[in-house]
Chains A and B, each alone.
Chain A
């Protein structure tokens, strides 16, 4: 998953704890491998290798694609499963000089769900386009693990994959899980503390993964319609929802609203915590 994954469990039953941890570990690895862009045995690789030919996908992939399509419709094209190629213009791992906005017009020709043939379970992805489950896979994995945990125990459990998390079972003995929302000023420090008794929290916007061009900070969540991050988005948005998938989608869609992120979440009536550069951390 490219992030620390943890499962916290309040129990005396070591066998149970190990079984849950093993499941979480295996499931994280399975989803990571299945939807990896880099592995040759992944579904994504199979789709990319089809060069435009129809590919019949398995039911789990079908459900993830359907979910991604729903987000594409809801966001009116801002979110798009095919926007992953924008990483060729925006490389966050190599520092500010690695941004190549001039490549965006060319890359936009390779983005857009309207170009994709999707007649479940058959997918026809035009040659040169890519599909990327990175925006939804991690939250989906958390939800899968929580669903499994619920069949095993009602002990307090928290499944946390890189800050996207959901709890299962009873609240812990202390009454609630205490989740820190990372400060944008100081990595590893909590700017706010949230008590979670049930449901999920997911955060979009990464304090470390942002890029500065001409003195302006850009997040790593791109609007698929123009290839740029929405202007004036918060540095980080955390949303609470019943499932991690919903929380993650709300936070991503909010980031894509840029300056209107908070107004969007207000109108949706969901609980959120946003951090912006001005006005402290």
Chain B
């Protein structure tokens, strides 16, 4: 190669200088967009009063094949410890419970909220999604997901198709997902409204169970102005099968004294009945988000309303402001408010003089409750990647229902408020 004898750079630069009069001061800065984008984060979630703690490691990777095709892979490992309310109400007397395994028992001190302390789990979740263009204005994706806990196995498939209209100012999408969950609780799945029994007596429990979940989604994004976009989506979900929480139960109390009544003869326990939920749940939700780009910053506001045939209606308002205070760093304040009405079968307690309802649950997650989240995220882009730190505070408070402030129950906070902190460290990079 004759030309290799001497680099031509200087000669060419001279010639160019002669052509254009001068050369630019800035050198060229170009780099090929890398094929892999990796997003990792470590999240720590801690509820107050030694309740649930979760350390979660999330890694997602995107492999870009070309502008039309990419594959997303994500892996999450959660380590949960701590205790969660069992559904039984506090009492001025000490209360003895049989642990879910049926192999031992534990005592809750007078006045304390009964928590199930055997809550300890590791969860692994894996998902993969293939995304591809279909001509100039359509895209589709399809994926598989699986997650595993010691008492739970989920397998799911999902698909989505979207199409642009109106010079890409409008995008309409359709999505569907199907999931199959196998549930094998420690000690078996309790029979709905069967009583808790003494250690080594598992006759209130059956073997494993399962449920299936179908979700359908239809939505659209619309560019409103040069700076704003709105997205509206409707989703429909149908869960079918075993929908109880196998570790939750209700206290049966005396209408006059408000104290727990005696359980089955020979059990030595008070009367606690395992919860019973309907075996299907149909949810509908409507979601709207408005995103606005300012000169330097951006704003996103969204609202979701959900209603299901358990009579739960929930609403969420969420706002984020992305403040690029330097070209390479940002702060993102975030607030969220959530409110829900109780499920029609939610009962803080059952009274001993009433007929047993068909369904009942004292799970606080089905109670009438309000929650808010307030947080701040800081992010910084560097030559190697982008890291972020997020701190959030969560607070929720619920109302017991029906009014259960009779006798001894009036002395206790039946649905104590709960607070949690969330700390997350994230790092995003390409290679």
Contacts and interface: CB of A to CB of B under 8 A. Distances in A.
Nearest to B31: A195
Given A191-B66, A197-B30, A242-B24, A140 B8 contact: no
Interface stretch (B9-17, B49-57, B333-341): B9-17
B265 interface: no
B33 A193 contact: yes
A197 B26 CA distance: 10
Interface stretch (A23-31, A69-77, A100-108, A122-130): A69-77
Contacts of A246: 12-13, 16
Contact of A242 (B7, B27, B68): B27
B29 A190 contact: no
B16 A201 contact: no
Interface in B344-366: none
A189 B20 CA distance: 33
A278 to B, nearest CB: 18
A201 B31 CA distance: 11
A19 interface: no
A215 B12 CA distance: 36
A243 B15 contact: no
B67 interface: yes
B23 interface: yes
B387 to A, nearest CB: 16
Contacts of A250: 12
Contacts of A70: 11-12, 14-15, 18
A67 interface: yes
B132 to A, nearest CB: 12
Contacts of B384: none
Nearest to A78: B3
Contacts of B1: 257, 260, 263-264, 267
Contact of B8 (A63, A64, A190, A253): A253
Which secondary structure dominates where chain A touches chain B? mixed
B37 to A, nearest CB: 12
Contact of B33 (A143, A178, A260): A178
Interface string A237-269: 000111101110110010001001001100111
A263 B16 contact: no
Interface residues of A, number: 52
A76 B16 contact: no
B403 interface: no
A76 B2 contact: yes
A199 B27 contact: yes
Interface string A169-183: 000000100101001
B28 A241 contact: yes
Task: Name, among B11, B12, B32, B64, the residue most crowded by chain A CB atoms within 10 Å (CB to CB).
Answer: B12
Nearest to A197: B29
Most buried by A among B13, B29, B68: B29
A196 B29 CA distance: 6
B383 to A, nearest CB: 12
Contacts of A260: 1
B33 A194 contact: yes
A198 B27 contact: yes
B26 A198 contact: yes
A249 B28 contact: no
Interface in B53-106: 64, 66-68
Contacts of B23: 242-243
Contacts of B29: 196-199
B28 A268 contact: no
Interface string A47-79: 000000000000000011011001101111000
A273 B66 CA distance: 15
Given A74-B11, A264-B4, A63 B28 contact: no
A194 B32 contact: yes
A147 interface: yes
B33 A195 contact: yes
A245 B67 CA distance: 28
B8 A268 contact: yes
A64 B19 contact: yes
Nearest to B67: A190
Given A193-B67, A194-B33, A268-B9, A253 B27 contact: no
A200 interface: yes
A195 B29 CA distance: 8
A242 B28 contact: yes
Contacts of B33: 178, 192-195
Contacts of A144: 20
B21 to A, nearest CB: 8
A200 B28 CA distance: 7
Given A193-B67, A240-B30, A271-B30, A74 B18 contact: no
Interface string A121-143: 00000000000000000001001
Contacts of A194: 30-33
Contacts of A147: 20-21
A31 B381 CA distance: 42
A198 B26 CA distance: 7
A140 B19 contact: yes
A151 B47 CA distance: 59
A77 B339 CA distance: 78
Contact of A271 (B15, B28, B68): B28
A63 B67 contact: no
Contacts of B31: 194-195, 271
A197 B24 CA distance: 14
Interface in A143-191: 143-144, 147, 175, 178, 180, 183, 189-191
B4 A74 contact: no
Contact of A189 (B13, B67, B381): B67
A279 B203 CA distance: 66
Nearest to B4: A267
A107 B373 CA distance: 79
Contacts of B12: 70, 74, 246, 249-250
Given A147-B20, A245-B20, A268-B9, 11 more contacts: A66-B15, A71-B15, A76-B3, A178-B33, A180-B67, A189-B66, A243-B24, A267-B4, A269-B7, A271-B28, A273-B32
Q: What are the nearest 6 A-B pairs in CB distance?
A: A199-B28, A70-B15, A197-B29, A240-B30, A193-B33, A67-B19
6 contacts: A63-B19, A190-B67, A199-B29, A257-B3, A263-B4, A269-B7
Interface of A: 12, 63-64, 66-67, 70-71, 73-76, 140, 143-144, 147, 175, 178, 180, 183, 189-201, 240-243, 245-247, 249-250, 253, 257, 260, 263-264, 267-271, 273
